[in-house]
């Protein structure tokens, strides 16, 4: 520490280490209490995570121009259709740019996307994306019936979901959380 003084928010001179620590703290904070998210969707309907308590909720960040994330959305919509009546909800966040609103709306209509979609045109700089460490798509988060974050899955370099939970295990995880045999 010769010649260096501590400044608020500057615990380590290496940005990568500081960023990694911040991201870990973000997730720990989200896992402490039920997640709060309220928004008016692309379709004009209100969505409130508090009203989804008692259900397993997947929060999916995607972009209508990213094939990896749209392919995964199609799979998630199938899982949602299969388990919606048993207590599974899918809520999505579009990371499309402001100038791509019409492309997004066309994609939603053409693909009959019938789940809540948050869209503000700010890509990843909305009010909650940075708090959830969302800096790219696809990104999936699964919350339990109490609204507590259980796991996150992020896109890899080739658009495959990987990290905490392999994508082929998502349906099994949902079944376990819903106690479906």
What DSSP string describes 10-44? BS-S-HHHHHHHHHHHHHHHHTTS----EEE-TTS
pLDDT at 155: 53
Enumerate the H helices of 31-167 as residue ranges: 67-83, 101-110
Whether residue 178 is predicted with pLDDT greater than 50 in this model: the reply is yes
- Is the distance from CB of 41 to CB of 72 less than 8 angstroms? no
pLDDT at 160: 39
Who has greater pLDDT, 19 or 47?
47
pLDDT at 31: 74
pLDDT at 35: 84
pLDDT at 167: 53
* CA 39 to chain CA centroid, nearest Å: 14
Confidence of residue 107 (pLDDT cuts 50, 70, 90): very high
Whether residue 65 is predicted with pLDDT greater than 60 in this model: the reply is yes
Mean pLDDT, the chain, whole residue set: 81
Whether residue 2 is predicted with pLDDT greater than 60 in this model: the reply is no
């Amino acid at each position: 520490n010769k010649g260096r003084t501590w400044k608020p928010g500057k615990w380590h001179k290496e940005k990568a280490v500081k960023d990694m620590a911040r991201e870990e703290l973000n997730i720990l904070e989200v896992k402490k209490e039920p997640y709060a998210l309220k928004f008016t969707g692309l379709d004009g309907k209100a969505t409130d995570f508090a009203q989804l308590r008692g259900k397993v909720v997947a929060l999916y960040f995607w972009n209508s121009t990213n094939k990896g994330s749209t392919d995964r959305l199609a799979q998630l919509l199938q899982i949602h259709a299969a388990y919606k009546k048993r207590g599974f909800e899918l809520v999505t966040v579009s990371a499309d740019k402001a100038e791509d609103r019409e492309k997004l709306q066309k994609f939603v209509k053409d693909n009959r996307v019938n789940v809540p979609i948050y869209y503000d045109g700010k890509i990843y700089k909305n009010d909650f994306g940075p708090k959830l460490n969302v800096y790219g798509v696809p990104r999936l988060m699964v919350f339990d019936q109490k609204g507590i974050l259980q796991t996150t899955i992020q896109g890899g370099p080739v658009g495959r979901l990987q990290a905490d939970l392999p994508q082929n295990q998502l349906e099994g995880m949902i079944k376990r959380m819903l106690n479906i045999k």
